[in-house]
Amino acid sequence: MNISRRATIRNSIGLALSGVFAAHVSRVAATADDTAKLIAEFAGDASPAEGKIKLTAPEIAENGNTVPIAVSVESPMTDDDYVESVMVLAEGNPNPEVITFNFTPLSGIARASTRMRLAKTQNVVAVAKMSDGSVFTDTRNVKVTIGGCGG
């Protein structure tokens, strides 16, 4: 094969650029792997199932600085059967952790809402852990018009 000097230079520039780009991406956004790792840590031995938990988020968020979200979990909330905690994660934010709600039987109903920041269009995941150790999850895709991380 004939390797010309020009082609070699072109290739090396391409490689260097892709390297820069990859480094940039890994710094700015968390990956789905990070999120999966956090969910596994949170869930412990249980494997997350669908259902019981409902995550409410807008389909399109114009301003990524304040995106209203709400979580509610079906549970009788008695002393021996209640929702221990709900973790909310954003896959595409610089840090995927958003908030962890800790409920008690005194909460009456396992529901909470707040406002969060979203850097870009991405999936928001909510994971609920029950007092018996079972884990439930729900995911919503939110389209973001203006990102909310001041980048």
Partner 1 sequence: MAAKPRIKVPKTAAAGDVITIKTLISHKMESGQRKDKKTGNLIPRKIINKFNCEFNGNTVFGCDIDPAISANPFLEFSAKVTESGTFTFVWTDDDGTTTEASKDITVS
| List 14, 44, 76, 108, residue binding partner 1 (CB under 8 A) | 108
Q: Verify binding: residue 66, partner 1, rule CB under 8 A.
A: yes
Cβ neighbourhood burial of 88 (10 Å; 0-12, 13-18, 19+): buried
Q: At its nearest, how many Å lie between partner 1 and the CB of residue 122? A: 11
Q: Token pair of 105, please? A: 């039987």
Query: What's the gap between Cα 23 and its chain centre?
Result: 21
Helix (H) or strand (E) holding 39: helix 32-43
Report in angstroms how near the CB of residue 119 gets to partner 1 at its nearest: 8
Q: Cα 126 from chain centroid?
A: 8
- Stretch binding partner 1 (CB under 8 A), from 11-19, 54-62, 108-116, 138-146: 108-116
Which residue, 98 or 127, has its beta carbon nearer to partner 1? Answer: 98
Which of the stretches 7-15, 47-55, 93-101, 137-145 binds partner 1 when contact is defined by CB under 8 A?
Answer: 93-101
Binding mask 17-56 for partner 1 (x = CB under 8 A): ----------------------------------------
Q: How far is CA 15 from CA 4, 29, 84, 122, in A?
A: 17, 21, 48, 28
Query: What is the identity of the amino acid at 22?
Result: A
Establish if 111 lies at the interface with partner 1 (CB under 8 A). Answer: yes
Q: Answer for the pair 32, 89: CB distance below 8 angstroms, yes or no.
A: no
Which residues lie near partner 1 (CB under 8 A)?
65-67, 70, 77, 90, 93-95, 97-118, 148-151
